[in-house]
Amino acid sequence: MKLSESAGSETTGSSQNGVVASDTVLATFDLDVRYGAVVALEGVSVHVGKGEMVALIGPNGAGKSTLLNTLSGIKRPAGGRIVLNGKLAHVPEGRQVFPELTVEDNLRLGAYRGGSRDPGPMYELFPQLQRLRYRPAGGLSGGEQQMVAICRALMANPDVLTVDELSQGLAPLVVSDIARHLVELNRQNGTAVLLVEQNAQLALNITSRAYVLENGRIGMEGRSSDLISDPAVRAAYLGGVR
Ligand SMILES: Nc1ncnc2c1ncn2[C@@H]1O[C@H](COP(=O)(O)OP(=O)(O)O)[C@@H](O)[C@H]1O
Ligand SMILES: [Mg+2]
């Protein structure tokens, strides 16, 4: 994974400052990200442990996509540090499958940075993709395209998967099906997941830890089970049910 060379980013684990625990797969330290004069992230420090499932929730415009895009090297940070212990693969907001390419060609493209080019394991994870393998991805349903986007990322055999808005535009049953597969993948392969999700209930249900991003800063963090019963989180993100 190519990370921005600016701002002291590094791609290997470091114990120089003694801060990066050996079980960390991904961490940021005081990350600042701007779009021109717009400050999108300020002083953001997050970490994901090996094999951990972590949620990132927060309102529209909070900077969630910016954080994932910076982690995956699409956006350069203005300051701070990123530590990645292993390989990261990103499922972008809106899925962004290649519509004219077949499902299988979309998957194979995911292996361009390494990993096996054999899509077989992906059809084991999402069996319904197998019968669609020679269909152009653009003709698939939203849920099927999300499966393709996830599998395309998994083809790189990542240590940590970042997913931007898993449930966006999908029917609730489809979402819970895909979410179940993510949990299964995490349990079976130990792939760590950093999940950005508008549906805070879903995100907190399937992760062990979570961050709340508000206005470019981490407002709250903690165990998902604690956040789910936190009055402030309930009021802001879980429909105010107490
Ligand atoms: N390409 C861009 N150019 C300028 N400002 C942007 C760009 N992308 C995002 N922003 C701004 O950065 C902030 C964070 O956006 P984003 O990361 O998309 O938030 P979220 O994913 O939480 O909805 C917002 O204020 C947004 O308007
Ligand atoms: Mg977003």
The model's confidence at residue 19, banded by pLDDT at 50, 70 and 90, is: low
Structural domain contains residue 227: yes
| pLDDT greater at residue 27 or residue 9 | 27
CATH number of the domain to which 137 belongs: 3.40.50.300
- Domain containing residue 187: 52-72+87-237
Give the Cα separation of 63 and 204 in Å (integer): 19
Counting ligands in written order, which one lies closest to the CA of residue 40? 1
Q: How many domains does the chain have?
A: 1
Q: Where are the alpha helices (DSSP H) in the chain?
A: 64-71, 103-109, 120-125, 142-154, 172-189, 200-206, 224-227, 231-237
Q: Ligand 1 centre and the CA of 136: distance in Å?
A: 31
What residues sit around ligand 2, an ion, with C-beta below 5 angstroms?
Answer: 64-65
Q: Whose C-alpha lies nearest to ligand 1, atom 11?
A: 40
Structural domain contains residue 118: yes
Structural domain contains residue 77: no
The model's confidence at residue 29, banded by pLDDT at 50, 70 and 90, is: very high
Structural domain contains residue 200: yes
Q: Ligand 2 centre and the CA of 238: distance in Å?
A: 18
Backbone angles phi, psi at 173, to 5 degrees: -65, -40
Residue with tokens 């395309």: 152
Structural domain contains residue 32: no
Structural domain contains residue 80: no
Please name which of 64, 78, 80 lies closest in space to residue 29, comparing C-alpha atoms: 80
Structural domain contains residue 194: yes
Structural domain contains residue 44: no
Counting ligands in written order, which one lies closest to the CA of residue 59? 1
This prediction has a pTM of 0.90
pLDDT at 42: 98
pLDDT in tens, 94-120: 889 999 999 999 999 998 877 788 999
pLDDT in tens, 74-97: 999 999 999 999 999 999 998 899
